[in-house]
Amino acid sequence: MDKREPITTTNLGPVVSVLTWVIEASVIIAVGIKFTLSLIIPGKRNVEDAALFLATTSSIGFTIAISLAVPNGVGKHQETLSSDQLKPLQITLYAADIFLVLVLSCVQASVLIFLRDLTPSRAHRKWMEVVAGFIILFFIASFFAVIFPCHLPHVWQILGPHCVDQLAFWETFAAVNILIETTLVLFPILIVFPLRMNGARKAILISCFAARLIVIGSLGAQIYEAQRLWENVHDLSYHSWSYRLAVVLVQGLSIITACIPSIRNLLLSMESGMIQTGHLRLPSQNGAESEVPLDLITIGQISSNLSRNTDAQVTKPAASSMLGSDRI
């Protein structure tokens, strides 16, 4: 986009470009904080980081594609565009759609892997595997739909007449993703609610994952804007600018909200001075409450280790002392 290009009622593309880069900067900051904190923690890297990295790189590709589409006609009336603008406009929007599918699928995989490593319940893990299978199948179907939306060889001519119904597809795509995101919000409630901890801490843990409700709201906005476009299919390049804004929010907020639970747990582990070497694991319903997994060392183990040390002198405490220690 030309930086001197003004924002007018007939040129709303710069609004899309500016917001796209603002959201992308926020994504890079959030992911950068998470990865930086992860590097501080010794031991193996979290598996979900790989999926989140793929989502971030796809988000960058999405931002670049939108930025290239704006000067070629986003937010401008289609009748004012030349053929030299229409072709790159369709190609860049075609690429942005592909990156959008990659972003959402990779983020959902990252969140699901994180939740699977979080819960000690086998039943929860079984249900998560079912959801993971659904996400994979939906990704495959959606990916092929955005790769081949139009007839060969010009599969990128998404504004042409020889394509699948783009608006109907993206409405369905957003609706299914609302279902998936709702499941990702409900899982933490099922995991945290039975735990033996006070209500305030449960609320804090759940709220970290409930931040993804913002993503659901953005997907709802995407459906709303897509439905509005049915009345303006003759001039999609101009009237789709608000729809593109909704899509920008969907992909950006999806990544940002996925970083919140991990950043919080990493900060808590460093604040307490207890750096974990593996994944965070919440206690079971009957287990002791703990934010960071630590090896439990019982008094019996300590006594056994001391008794094997020939240089150590172990004095059996008096009964009154033992009773006093039990009360601590």
Confidence of residue 233 (pLDDT cuts 50, 70, 90): confident
This prediction's pTM: 0.79
pLDDT at 322: 39
Confidence of residue 204 (pLDDT cuts 50, 70, 90): confident
**What are 180-185's contacts with CB under 8 Å, separation 24+?**
180/108, 180/131, 180/134, 180/135, 180/138, 181/108, 181/212, 181/215, 181/216, 181/219, 182/216, 183/131, 184/108, 184/111, 184/112, 184/115, 184/209, 184/212, 185/209, 185/210, 185/212, 185/213, 185/216
| pLDDT beyond 60 at 305 | no
pLDDT at 243: 95
